Every structure is written in C-alpha cells, then in structure tokens.
Amino acid sequence: MIYMLDTNAVSNAAMNRGKVRETMLGHSPSNIFVSNIVLAELMYGFAKKSRPTLQATTEALLSTMTVLDWDDSVSDVYPAFRVGIEAKGRSLSYMDMLIAAHAHSIGAILVSSDAGMHNALADKAVDWY
C-alpha cells in the first residue's frame, strides 16, 4: 500500500505530534509520498511566519520522502475526481481537493487528520495522528 501525506500530516510528523512519525517508520520510505502542492503550502507557511528550526526539521523530514510533481496525468484525473466528490454532496477546499486528487491519481491512501478529507474520501484516507 502507498500513502500520500497532506500538509497537516507532514506538519504533525515534523513537530512529532501524535503518531505520524512513528507510523511512518513502520512503512517503507518508497511507499510514502508528498505532493508538491503540500510542499508549496508548507513553504508558504514558513514565508508567512519565520520558524527556522521547524523549517529545517520539516525539510529534513521531506528529504526522506519522494515529492511528486503535479503533472498531466494528475490533471487528467482531477476533473472526474472532483465531480465525483461533489456528486456525493461533499466538498473540500481547493488546495485539499488538489492534494486528494493527486493521491487518487497514484492510487495512494491520503494521510490526513482533516475530518473533511475523511468525510469526502471515506476509505481512501487514514489518520495517523
């Protein structure tokens, strides 16, 4: 099974909150991914509020994972994925929808502590917190 961590999962792992980091260690690093959209959100957070120690810890953590680019294959999957979520009466923020679609495009389980993600994705999301 492969996993894609969302922004809060990476943040929780970097801050050693919950059991995210511990759970990650139980999986092969080759099975854990991060979307470059998550990377952008994290970097935005550090630009907004300087936290050099946390940024260094986060960057070190990210260096152990594969950061996947949003490419044409994800763009091809996104419309039907979003329509499917919305047809169920569910909604996500735009960034969360992009991250969820990215995970879906590679067949990954999304790791998130966001209840909205779990509501929208059902069995395609897991909380390691």
Tell whether the torsion through CA atoms of 35, 110, 82 and 120 is positive or negative.
negative
Q: Which CATH superfamily is domain 3-126 in?
A: 5'-nuclease (3.40.50.1010)
Per-residue pLDDT tens digits for 118-128: 989 988 999 99
**pLDDT tens, residue order, the chain (129 aa):** 999 999 999 999 999 999 999 999 999 999 999 999 999 999 999 999 999 999 999 999 999 999 999 999 999 999 999 999 999 999 999 999 999 999 999 999 999 999 989 989 988 999 999
Residue 39 is which amino acid?
L
Find, among 4, 15, 10, 107, the residue nearest to 53 by Cα.
15
**Predicted local distance difference test score (pLDDT) of residue 97:** 96
Report the distance separating Cα 35 and Cα 90, nearest Å.
Answer: 22
Helix then strand count (H, E) for the chain reads 7, 5
Reported pTM: 0.94
Per-residue pLDDT tens digits for 5-23: 999 999 999 999 999 999 9
